[in-house]
Structure 1
Amino acid sequence: MSAQQTHQTAPSGTWLKQWEPENEAFWEAGGKRQAWTTLVLTTAALTMAFITWFLVSALVVRLPQIGFQFTASQLFWLAAMPGLAGGTLRLIHMFLVPIYGTRHVISLSTLSLLIPLVGWFYAVQNPETPYWVLMLLAFLAGLGGGNFSSFMPSTSMFFPKRLQGTALAIQAGVGNFGVSVVQFVTPWVIGFALLGGMAWVGEPQTMTRAGVESQIYLQNAPLVMIPFVAVFGITAWIFLKSIPITSNFREQFDIFKSGHTWSQTSLYIMTFGAFSGLAATFPLLIRLIYGDYEGAPDPLAWAFYGPLIGSASRVVAGPISDKLGGARVTHWAGLGMLVCAGLVAWIVTGTDSLASFPMFVTGMLALFFFAGVGNASTFKQMPMLFAPRQAGGVIGFTAAIAAYGPFLFGMLFAWSFAAFNSAAPVFWGLAGFFAFNVALNWVLYARKGAPYPC
């Protein structure tokens, strides 16, 4: 079997007979419509995947306020666990589309999100829920993180190379909005009884914040997502098709023979690893750095801005990367991240009041912005360096490794606060890592006369 071939024996209704996006006549005759329709449906499903993946980051800051007795380290572990699961599951998802096809993978993986959503709906209603149960549910939330490494390779194979930067940026950028959506919607939707307070929706919890008690419905956060996940999963099964590019499990390992796989992985860890890791920990960072001061800000009132800005910049940077070249855009994004990481590290060093909070938020939002730009530009580089099936595999692998961001950042911040009672060491370390990747990208891809311009 070749690494890329037409599927000969697949059942009708699932597999397309042919797919030639680089053929202009084929593209205009119907390929373009099929590709953009698929992009719309899979992007809607990917948004729900990100919402599920980052649901825990929105819930964890409220758990101590409704009676759950956890330490700061335990809370960081809860926030980190979806990242551990997401990265691990992406290592599986990266192989699935060439084996089972877009239709089956997208629809079934979307419906699997119902498991953690239903679980969290029940778990948060009882402060006596064991910690190990919450850890298991946090791990299962990582099902949403795993989906990315099958969704994105699928999209890369549906579009011609000249449009892949735009298509991948739209899908990933809009999907990333799910992070901001869950952190924005949660504070609002938990404030009232859904469905007229019907008994099966659950009783309210008493939240104590700054000595003031109020009634909230924390279970509403997962509940409102359940019908959307069900509808998008069923819709994907009905309308999606699979393209005839197939490969078995063993053949897909050829991507690991290329040094570009590893350099692109490092670059994507810099961009998406930072985006996802900081998105998962931003609410807790605000709480731990500024939460003890009088008039402390509500973490969820600010945290959603980071993923929102990062997602928007990813969408915008896609077409720019198609026009200017991914490597050049990655270069400037990396420099921006380097400066912002150093700025935030300086701001949080010796913080002893709320006076530095505006500067902290500004530095973090700028860091999210440049991370979003780099997320788009790196995904433009990969399809230019590899053949279509291989590019899909590399996209899936790099996304898998970078998806450990929430886990790694959770562990790093837990260590940093335990050892130094500060987040500064982590941000200084990030600045060093960003500097390494800027140099790597410049030498290999971005400089004039680079050996592999992309």
Structure 2
Amino acid sequence: MTAPSSAPSRTRGRWITHWEPENAAFWNATGRRVANRNLWASIFAEHIGFSVWSLWSVLTLFMTPEAGFDYTPAQKFLLVSAVSLVGAVLRVPYTLAVPKFGGRNWTLISACALLVPTGLAAVLIQRPDTPFWLLLLLAATAGLGGGNFSSSMANINSFFPERSKGWALGLNAGGGNIGVATAQLAGLGVIAAFGAAQGYLLAVLYIPLLLAAAVVAATRMDNLTGARSDAGAQIAAAKDRHFWILSFLYIGTFGSFIGFSFAFGLLLQNQFDRTPMEAAAVTFLGPLLGSLVRPVGGRLADRFGGARVTLIGFAAMAAGTAVIVAASLLGSLALFTTGFIALFLLTGIGNGSTYKMIPAVYAAEAENEIAAGVPAEQAYARNKRISGAVLGLVGAAGALGGVGINLVFRQSFMSFDTAIPAYAAFLAFYLACMAVTRRFYLRRPAARPGAAAAASHDESVAAS
């Protein structure tokens, strides 16, 4: 018998057949370097994909009567909703694509696929006579960029050891999330430099960036033969209670982040009569800061436990929402803006900590199965497989939560001509998220075999 090599074993086409991130010798010798190279390439590609997903929330700003477009606000809302919905739904099959095609290969494919809706948008946005149904279809295809998040997260999850996943997943997700702010800033730049009539230039800008993402994926990323996340794993995940609980929590964090990202500017306009330029000058700050702090949420979760950080985050989000309610009642723009920026920061931290909980919860499930007599190798393999599927499915649920945020705002204005009832609903939801987090991931179970080991992670008590 010989000790396994500390270097990854490769086959043709940049496939790695030997990957042991939990092996300290392997990780320190070559694993960390290879994993970090894949991480930074993944961050760049996911960032561009997320930006393309966000493009239509900016492109609709260019669809003005002066540019020849005669669309109602409802039609513009439908365009943005189509992008959001498709991006959320595609997160499920995109998770399956990583083990089937390889993380590197699928990143390359998905980046190239976005050239089609982006290139067509650059052409059709110049033609106001384009039928609305065609623009709606085109906007929906841009939703492909939203699916990139789940495939990227599932891929990076396979590269890193358990102790580092919070930081790695936080960096990867934060780099993607910041694409919302990047697209908004790029749109402002186009308006300032060329005017609203030249909105197509925003789509043109992203064509070479997509090509660059494809080149980076082809030259800097690898495929792992050991990556396993198939349809069977997704079915098993959908039957697991932790999937539904974690999805509920991620709707509260990421759903709030992406929903508020699209709604913030509209709220400034409707509540405080800000002009489009005045609103846009502030709107990008929330998504930017929320994205930047997401890795901090992962890092805090690595140190203090994902459930503790998530619980505190929801408590702070409830307090921040109360501040927004007070600002709305007082008509204070400064307090309103401060409260919303704080809420974006808290959603970013919550995104990182909640996502860190996923692999931790299933690692604890494996320990509990081992304590019940299941062979260790079988228990770890099964739960790691389900964990990869949950990473993608939870991402889809969170994105759908963003659609829900905007629907609640829409109904609130339609029924009460104010957003205050919507804020009250969100506050109640955050309190419910606090209760769920404490009940399932922080409450100590009664003594049982293996309980002492499970108590080492606050998330692990969920298996009781």
The bucket for the TM-score relative to the shorter chain is 0.7 to 0.9
Q: 1:276 to 1:425 in 2, by over 3 A?
A: same
From 256, 259, 262, the counterpart of 1:277: 259
Q: 2:350 matched to which residue of 1?
A: 374
The question of whether the paired residues in 2 share the 8 Å contact of 1:315 and 1:376 is answered with yes
Q: 1:271 to 1:385 in 2, by over 3 A?
A: same
Distance 1:22 1:420 in 2: 55
Q: 1:107 matched to which residue of 2?
A: 108
The question of whether the paired residues in 1 share the 8 Å contact of 2:308 and 2:458 is answered with no
Q: 1:78 matched to which residue of 2?
A: 79
Distance 2:438 2:414 in 1: 36
- Deviates further, 276-285 or 56-65: 56-65
2:241 aligned with 1:259? yes
What letter corresponds to residue 158 of structure 2 in structure 1? M
The question of whether the paired residues in 1 share the 8 Å contact of 2:81 and 2:403 is answered with yes
- 1:113-166 per-residue CA deviation (whole Å, 9 max, x = no partner) reads 112211221232223332222222221221111111110011111000000000
Q: Which has the higher helix share?
A: 2
2:72 aligned with 1:96? no
- 1:25-84 per-residue CA deviation (whole Å, 9 max, x = no partner) reads 111121111100000001000100110111112222342363422223222222222110
Q: 1:290 matched to which residue of 2?
A: 272
Q: 1:141 to 1:342 in 2, by over 3 A?
A: farther
What letter corresponds to residue 64 of structure 1 in structure 2? T
- Deviates further, 175-184 or 10-19: 10-19
What letter corresponds to residue 36 of structure 1 in structure 2? N
Distance 2:18 2:335 in 1: 54
**3-state secondary structure, aligned to 1:192:** helix
Distance 2:314 2:235 in 1: 29
What letter corresponds to residue 418 of structure 2 in structure 1? S
Distance 1:173 1:121 in 2: 27
Distance 2:333 2:241 in 1: 42
Distance 1:67 1:376 in 2: 43
1:328-407 aligned within 5 A: 328-349=308-329, 356-386=332-362, 387-407=383-403
2:409 aligned with 1:413? yes
Q: 1:28 to 1:181 in 2, by over 3 A?
A: same
Structure 1 residue 312, shift from structure 2 partner: 1.4
The question of whether the paired residues in 2 share the 8 Å contact of 1:310 and 1:371 is answered with yes
The question of whether the paired residues in 1 share the 8 Å contact of 2:170 and 2:294 is answered with yes
1:143-158 aligned within 5 A: 143-158=144-159
- Deviates further, 217-226 or 251-260: 251-260
- Deviates further, 239-248 or 133-142: 239-248
Structure 1 residue 421, shift from structure 2 partner: 2.1
- Structure 2 unmatched runs, 5+: 1-9, 363-382, 447-454, 460-464
Distance 2:44 2:16 in 1: 22
Q: 2:458 matched to which residue of 1?
A: 453
Q: Larger RCO: Structure 1 or Structure 2 (Cα < 8 Å, ≥ 6 residues apart)?
A: 1
The question of whether the paired residues in 1 share the 8 Å contact of 2:229 and 2:386 is answered with no
What letter corresponds to residue 285 of structure 2 in structure 1? Y
2:238 aligned with 1:242? no
Distance 1:61 1:347 in 2: 27
- Deviates further, 399-408 or 86-95: 399-408
TM-score by length of 2: 0.85
Q: 2:32 matched to which residue of 1?
A: 32
**3-state secondary structure, aligned to 1:125:** coil
What letter corresponds to residue 278 of structure 1 in structure 2? F
Structure 1 residue 446, shift from structure 2 partner: 2.8
The question of whether the paired residues in 2 share the 8 Å contact of 1:79 and 1:407 is answered with no
Structure 1 residue 192, shift from structure 2 partner: 3.3
What letter corresponds to residue 280 of structure 1 in structure 2? F
Distance 1:374 1:136 in 2: 33
Distance 1:296 1:393 in 2: 41
Aligned residues: 419
- Deviates further, 394-403 or 441-450: 441-450
The question of whether the paired residues in 1 share the 8 Å contact of 2:254 and 2:402 is answered with no
Distance 2:384 2:245 in 1: 18
Distance 1:14 1:408 in 2: 41
The question of whether the paired residues in 2 share the 8 Å contact of 1:82 and 1:138 is answered with yes
Q: 1:49 matched to which residue of 2?
A: 49
Q: 2:136 matched to which residue of 1?
A: 135
What letter corresponds to residue 433 of structure 2 in structure 1? N
- Deviates further, 159-168 or 234-243: 234-243
- 1:398-451 per-residue CA deviation (whole Å, 9 max, x = no partner) reads 001111234223333333322322222222111111111110001111345698
The question of whether the paired residues in 1 share the 8 Å contact of 2:257 and 2:348 is answered with yes
The question of whether the paired residues in 1 share the 8 Å contact of 2:11 and 2:17 is answered with no
Structure 1 residue 453, shift from structure 2 partner: 2.0
The question of whether the paired residues in 2 share the 8 Å contact of 1:166 and 1:318 is answered with yes
Q: 1:304 to 1:49 in 2, by over 3 A?
A: same
What letter corresponds to residue 369 of structure 1 in structure 2? L
Distance 1:75 1:422 in 2: 21
Distance 2:229 2:59 in 1: 40
Structure 1 residue 360, shift from structure 2 partner: 1.8
Structure 1 residue 302, shift from structure 2 partner: 0.9
Over aligned residues, Cα RMSD in angstroms? Answer: 2.2
